[in-house]
Amino acid sequence: MVALLPPLRRAVERHPTLQQILLGCGIAGSAWWVAIDMVGSIRYPGYSYADQVVSELSAEGAPTRTFMQVFSGIPYAALLTAFGIGIWRAAGESRAGHVTGALVIAEAVWGLVGGIAFPMATREVMAASQDTLRNQMHQWYGIGMPILFALAVGFGSRLLGKRFRYYSYATILVILVAGFMMSQQNSALAANEPTPWMGLNERVVGYLPMIWYAVLAVGLLRAEGARSTARSEQRAATPRKLQQLPR
């Protein structure tokens, strides 16, 4: 990533709009992930948005697996990677910003690679104890994503002021509560038993990071706009100062 920065910096300096596009990918990626989750739940016959988890949409053998990989996993990873680069660029000399950008990219890549390599098994397969080692590894891959996000929030909470910091901490707290409630039904899911509200609890865990990314993107875009305006005013003032110099 460090090797990419010099050419990217030169490109952004020549085309300032590129930085806005990179940061805007945080909003686009978040909205895209939520939208495809909703579309996928509609395309899966008999799927319950409220009671079934998101991973079941891309489970091995699920009718929506290919759809979710093609239209969710790959585009989301690409958009979040671009957003992570935008965060890194916007951070300037801020180490917290650099770490946040790197963690956002890591979370996106982890999600894409892990989702392909370690898919969840369907409930029926798990209940029959026919799930493979790849399927069983899914739960460990799943733990990595919230950890990476929590680390990103920990560093990213410093980038936009005190109110954003409090909002970031509240986001983590709600995710922990919803995640705990969801974990209480893991055994029922594996036994193919009813799991009321498990899907909604997991979507709280999944959607809140999307909202946080979007809020961070908006805040960084505003800061970038303010810096751009200041630079423009400074450039406009420089010729006037030169004209006023004694000859």
Q: Which of 69, 88, 98, 68 is nearest to 25 (CA)?
A: 88
Q: Decide which of 235 and 192 is more confident.
A: 192
Range of lowest pLDDT (60-64, 99-103, 169-173, 235-239): 235-239
> Across all residues in the chain, what is the average pLDDT?
89
Q: Which of 26, 29, 167 is nearest to 101 (CA)?
A: 26
Cα angle 212-60-148, degrees, rounded to a multiple of 5: 25
At 124, phi and psi to the nearest 5?
Answer: -65, -40
C-alpha 193/C-alpha 179 separation (Å) is: 19
How high is the pLDDT of residue 242? 46
Q: Which of 87, 60, 77 is nearest to 112 (CA)?
A: 77
Q: Is the dihedral of CA 145, 87, 208, 116 positive or negative?
A: negative
Per the CB < 8 A criterion, the answer to whether 84 and 108 are in contact is yes
How high is the pLDDT of residue 241? 52
With tokens 């895209």, the residue in question is 32
Q: What is the pLDDT of residues 11-42, one digit of tens each?
A: 555 567 899 999 999 999 999 999 999 999 99
Give the start-to-end residue ranges of the domains of the chain.
8-216
With tokens 């000859």, the residue in question is 247
Output the six-digit token pair for 130. 């026919």
Whole-angstrom CA distances from 178 to 95, 140, 171 are 31, 18, 11
State pTM to two decimals.
Answer: 0.87
* Residues 149-177, mean pLDDT to the nearest whole number: 96
pLDDT value at 235 more than 70? no
